[in-house]
Structure 1
Amino acid sequence: MLNSENKTFVLDTNVVLYDYRCIYSFEEHNVVIPITLLEEIDKFKRGNEIINFNAREFSRELDALIGDKFLHEGVKLESGGVIIVKTNIKKDDYLREIFWEDKPDHRILTVAYNLSKEYGTDKVCLVSKDINLRMKSKSIGVFAEDYETGKIKNIDELYSGKNMIEGIHHDVIDRIYKETHVPLEETGIGITPVPNENFILRNTSQSILATYIKEENALRIVEKRRAYGITPRNAEQIFALNACMDPRISLVTLSGKAGTGKTLMALAASLEKRKEYKQIFLARPIIPLSNRDIGYLPGDVHDKLDPYMQPLFDNLSVIQNQFAEDSPDYSRINDMISNKKLLITALAYIRGRSLPRVFFIVDEAQNLTPHEVKTIITRAGEGTKIVFTGDPYQIDTPYLDSRSNGLTCLIDKMKGQEIYAHITMEKGERSLLAEIASNLL
């Protein structure tokens, strides 16, 4: 039975599909699983996507938890709360008039409504990642909230990886130019950086780019350099290229709006450093349009994937077109693709593989869940470098947002690690028109 002294949280199916361990996130409070939720996740058990994995794992987790007990009677959790399955989906006259259509969302909402009538509206809350269902719930007097576990508190305060310091003495800037490394305490920047944090140090007449090296407790100059024909156009791109080419750093995240050069910098760095890796992987998640699987598209697997992979080929063409068609650098890219030294593919075709000595670029990482990002990183073998790129504000996946997507969570969690670097890229370099449109429209 439910503990009437504590709050009762009613779970929507999408919460389980987002985090199969969600039942442990409510401390001493009651967790209610509507019978409809169990019916719905049964439809998601087959498949290789993260929601299919979560559906299977939730069923196993629940089965191991209850043992030989009955779920409709309630099972005590170690946190002190109770987990219970509720089957009361009977609507009263009020609900029948409003939600006459019989569908899973309405059945789950009915469970929450009936519990709020029994225990009080201040004791019951529907937890859903579906905004519309939360609005429906609040329309009938039932509290509702998003599933917040794993979300960062404020994306506006997310680590940017770069800092501008004004008023640096010209002797310090001259010394960094001359010696390339200067101990932190002798720079006078006045803050304690995190490992691999980048700085624009300025005074009225000079400026210099530098990065913090923790093992030396020093600022090191970051010089502008070309990578496979690509020259960075601003400080952010210089920082990004430097991080992608730094052998000390195994994990890089580059975030920013379209046109800032995230993928281009990562790809240029991978080609410049190609001799240090067995392969270069460039991948992105497939987000089908209108929620239709790519199997509906005509042609073989390559024909189906081409429209989704085209932006990656476009970046490769930008690099290739820096050279004459008869030059070795131009033909080398074609040779690498033919020999599968450079592989451009959907992320689903790489998931599950072990990746030793690979330069792995994951594009559109904001459309991954935190669990998917973790799965990718844990596949990294010795000598592998992984670069995640994406725009946290451009989410194409249902139930993810700017605060809960895998890229944002990765930036928040990895900040401070010595093998990790991040740059938020803000200045668009695609064209003046693209930059104006991005800022104004």
Structure 2
Amino acid sequence: MLKTFVLDTNILLHDAHSLFQFGGNHVVVPAIVIEEIDSKKRLMNEVGRNAREFSRMYKKLRDTNKGKLDEPIPLDSGGTFRIELNHRSFDKLRNEFSEDSNDNRIIAVAINLSTDSIGDVVLVSNDTLMIAKADALKKSLDLPAFFPELYENDRLIDHLERLHRGYHEILVPPEVIDSLYKSGELSIEILREYSTEEVYSQDFILLKDLFGSSHSGIGRVLIHNQKLVIQGLNRESEHIWGVLPKNVQQRMLMELLMDKNVSLVCATGKAGTGKTLLALAAGLSQTEDEQHYQKLLVSKPVVPVGNDIGFLPGEKEEKLRPWIQPIYDNLEFLFDAKNEEELNHILSGLRTLKVEALTYIRGRSIPNQFVIIDEVQNLSPHEVKTILTRVGEGTKIVLIGDPEQIDHPYLDSVNNGLTYAVERLKQEGEVGIIHLTSTERSKLAEIAARLL
């Protein structure tokens, strides 16, 4: 039997084309949702873009159906779409939720539809608190045909712990580790006896002694003669622009950053694990020293943590400085600058380095550059796709972020652009992924990241 999906405002502001993601079922948008979307059209960000895109689709559907959107009209996906007015909507909720809020009205529309004997009704939202309220109402009102659910279309994993880490710890007999050191290479088939994990090209293999000794080895999965092989890493790590990897995951990340055959690197991990610092060191090495890339472009989205500080005075560089100050902090360390004035003097002489807010690089073609995008967890999957599809020939791009630190109102640890990119691209041979776990910033930073 066909289902009826009632969409919350945040679904359409997150994915304007979500109308077409429910197959041959019925899609219902409450009238209050249209009002909320209309109020977002003037925003100059991803939310505003999605509001405008939905408005264009809304107009097209309205013109096709001669202005009668309160009646079901066919969609290309095979289902139907209509606007639900439902002015009697709040009657069934007054005993439980007296406040006549927009969220409660959307829930009420779905509940009323579920009691009208039209089959199963699914309320779809990215707001977990709204889902919680709807779950409570389902039980208290005994609604067997009412099902609150999160939007699953861009959730490639159900929990952050399932996110691909880019490395695998495998217990093997010591002779397997000795063989890796002796020959420098292992067949991937050898590991099938000791692990059932899915392994991709550019993944790392951390071999540990099955019998508990400290004997270990590190290998990297590469394609050789159209077959996957495990190639051993050198025992010694090298300083890159004065930075030496401090743990095994930093060493793996540096391998990916310095490999010219890897076009995209996705680095995830909590604050203080060294993601941005290592990426900047590798980028400076390959642009300034090796001159392999023409420019080093560093950027991040402008998303505030906590309350926004409003409009800032000054020219573009002065306005952007507070947002991208963390990048300058890392550059100050790499250049051993004593203060901001000295760092600005150094940077003014580097024509190959450009630090910008993400707003100013969208829509550009970026060839032969080393590009670092920080705080990618605050980008939507569509925004990450937009950035990656602008990458020109000979460019390497590094996506950095912590999926647990989301500042965007319509994203979470599972549906953000960084998580989406990792899961979608993990099997590609030119893509390297690594998850860092150890905080190296300071002892206090490590304790805070772990316990707070």
Where on the TM-score scale, by shorter chain, does this alignment land: which range?
A: 0.7 to 0.9
- Partner residue of 1:166? 171
CA distance in 2, matches of 1:87, 1:310: 48
Runs of at least 5 residues in structure 2 that lack an aligned partner in the other structure:
139-145
Q: 1:235 aligns with which of 248, 259, 268?
A: 248
Identity %, equivalent residues: 40
Of 83-92 and 232-241, the range deviating more from structure 2 = 83-92
CA distance in 2, matches of 1:205, 1:44: 57
Q: 2:262 aligns with which of 245, 249, 255?
A: 249
CA distance in 2, matches of 1:187, 1:88: 60
- Partner residue of 2:143? none
- Partner residue of 2:141? none
The answer to whether the 8 Å contact 1:222/1:239 transfers is: no
- Partner residue of 2:277? 264
Q: Give the Å deviation of 1:195.
A: 0.2
Q: 2:38 aligns with which of 24, 36, 42?
A: 42
Q: 2:220 aligns with which of 202, 207, 211?
A: 211
- Partner residue of 1:328? none
The aligned amino acid for 1:136 is: K
TM-score by length of 1: 0.88
Deviations 1:98-144 (A, max 9, x none): 65655433432332233233237x62222111223333333443542
Of 11-20 and 33-42, the range deviating more from structure 2 = 33-42
The aligned amino acid for 2:317 is: H
Q: Give the Å deviation of 1:174.
A: 4.9
Q: Which residues of 2 match residues 90-169 of structure 1 at below 5 A?
A: 90-95=88-93, 102-119=100-117, 123-141=120-138, 143-151=147-155, 152-169=157-174
Q: Give the Å deviation of 1:185.
A: 4.8
| 1:193 is the counterpart of 2:205 | no
Q: Which residues of 2 match residues 46-65 of structure 1 at below 5 A?
A: 46-65=42-61
The answer to whether the 8 Å contact 1:72/1:85 transfers is: yes
CA distance in 1, matches of 2:89, 2:206: 62
Of 207-216 and 392-401, the range deviating more from structure 2 = 207-216
Query: Secondary structure at 2:42's aligned position in 1?
Result: coil
CA distance in 2, matches of 1:76, 1:186: 54
Query: Secondary structure at 1:214's aligned position in 2?
Result: strand
The aligned amino acid for 1:439 is: R
CA distance in 2, matches of 1:231, 1:197: 21
Of 111-120 and 152-161, the range deviating more from structure 2 = 111-120
Change (3 A) 1:334 1:182: farther
CA distance in 2, matches of 1:28, 1:130: 25
Of 135-144 and 423-432, the range deviating more from structure 2 = 135-144
Q: Which residues of 2 match residues 66-105 of structure 1 at below 5 A?
A: 67-69=63-65, 70-95=68-93, 102-105=100-103
The aligned amino acid for 2:301 is: P
Q: Give the Å deviation of 1:418.
A: 0.4
Of 135-144 and 158-167, the range deviating more from structure 2 = 135-144
Change (3 A) 1:130 1:185: closer
- Partner residue of 1:434? 445
CA distance in 1, matches of 2:190, 2:120: 58
CA distance in 1, matches of 2:266, 2:447: 25
CA distance in 2, matches of 1:367, 1:403: 12
> What's the Cα RMSD here?
2.8
Query: Secondary structure at 2:260's aligned position in 1?
Result: coil
- Partner residue of 2:286? 273
The answer to whether the 8 Å contact 1:225/1:238 transfers is: no
CA distance in 2, matches of 1:228, 1:333: 19
The aligned amino acid for 1:164 is: E
Q: Give the Å deviation of 1:306.
A: 2.1
Change (3 A) 1:302 1:100: farther
Of 222-231 and 78-87, the range deviating more from structure 2 = 78-87
Of 417-426 and 307-316, the range deviating more from structure 2 = 307-316
| 1:378 is the counterpart of 2:389 | yes
The aligned amino acid for 1:119 is: S
- For these two proteins, the number of residue pairs brought into alignment is 428
Deviations 1:217-271 (A, max 9, x none): 3222323222111000111001000101101100011111111111111111111
Q: 2:322 aligns with which of 307, 312, 331?
A: 307
Change (3 A) 1:179 1:138: closer
The aligned amino acid for 2:206 is: I
CA distance in 1, matches of 2:27, 2:422: 31
CA distance in 2, matches of 1:106, 1:127: 14
Change (3 A) 1:145 1:182: closer
Q: Give the Å deviation of 1:383.
A: 0.6
Deviations 1:166-218 (A, max 9, x none): 33444x54554455445445788755731011122243363332211113432
Of 46-55 and 243-252, the range deviating more from structure 2 = 46-55
CA distance in 2, matches of 1:187, 1:6: 46
Change (3 A) 1:249 1:97: same
Query: Secondary structure at 1:44's aligned position in 2?
Result: coil
- Partner residue of 1:360? 371
| 1:28 is the counterpart of 2:43 | no
The aligned amino acid for 1:243 is: L
The answer to whether the 8 Å contact 1:199/1:209 transfers is: yes
Of 50-59 and 389-398, the range deviating more from structure 2 = 50-59
TM-score by length of 2: 0.86
CA distance in 1, matches of 2:375, 2:110: 36
- Partner residue of 2:412? 401
Change (3 A) 1:114 1:190: closer
The aligned amino acid for 1:373 is: V
Q: Give the Å deviation of 1:361.
A: 0.8
CA distance in 1, matches of 2:103, 2:214: 63
